[in-house]
A = this chain, B = another copy of it.
Amino acid sequence: MQDTPRGRRGRTRARLLECALDLFEQQGYEQTTVAQIAGAAGVTEMTFFRHFSAKDRLVVEDPYDPVIADAVAAQPHTLAPLARAVAGLRAAWGQLPEPESDVVRRRVRIAAGTPSLRAAIAANNAATEQILVDQLVADGADPRSARVAAAAVLAGITAALLDWSQHDGLTLTGAVSAALDTLDGAR
């Protein structure tokens, strides 16, 4: 009895999301109006904003913050901030539930081709960045280095995600893993 869609309520949200992704893929994100999405879902513009606080929330999803802090904390404190952040994210990734690549890919693909959405993703990463910073600092890292390392790692992973979404034949996990290697200084 968590938040599984039931009754008519949960359905509306799902319908809005589905209609929106369809429209975005057909005619582009910027060209699609909220009124169109609402209309396609058989609902009012007002209702749309009751389910999604903003248009970009259809594409940008909140990250898995809680797992990350723990994973970073578990890394050896002898590493430099960047290396520790990388090691932490590598560990965290293993613990995350394998996402449904289909939906994720659709969303990320749309985001990849829309500058304003890429910006929205970056803004969304701010929360995760803060968690990363807090954990690194709590483990004795210099605050300034921690912030730089956290921002760099998240941006690197995000870049890998955007790239992954546009080329078939790559696994999500593989793309992220390769990105972490690069951030670790690997060729």
Q: A183 to chain B: which residues have CB within 8 Å? A: 82, 148-149, 152
User: Which residues, 127 to 178 on A, are CB-close (under 8 Å) to B?
Assistant: 129, 142, 144-145, 147-160, 163, 175, 178
A148 in complex: contacting residue of B148, B151, B182, B187, CB < 8 Å = B182
A19 CB-CB contact with B under 8 Å: no
When the two chains form the complex, which single residue of B81, B119, B152, B175 contacts A120, counting CB atoms closer than 8 Å?
A: B119
Knowing A126-B118, A156-B151, A158-B151 touch, does A145 contact B81 (C-beta < 8 A)?
A: no
- Per the bound structure, the CA–CA distance linking A120 and B119 in Å amounts to 6
Chain A interface, DSSP helix/strand/loop, else mixed: helix
**Chain B min CB distance to A87 (Å):** 12
Q: Which residues of chain B come closer than 8 Å to A126, judged between CB atoms?
A: 115, 118
Instruction: Select one of B129, B182, B185 contacting A185, CB under 8 A.
Output: B185
In the complex, what residue of chain B is closest to A187 when comparing beta carbons? B80
**A116: Cβ under 8 A from any B Cβ:** yes
Interface presence of A179 (CB below 8 A):
yes
Contact with B along A41-58 (1 / 0, CB 8 A): 000000000000000000
Chain B residues, Cβ within 8 Å of A129: 159
A37 to chain B, nearest CB (A): 22
Name A's B-contacting residues (CB within 8 A): 80-83, 115-116, 118-120, 122-123, 126, 129, 142, 144-145, 147-160, 163, 175, 178-179, 182-183, 185-187
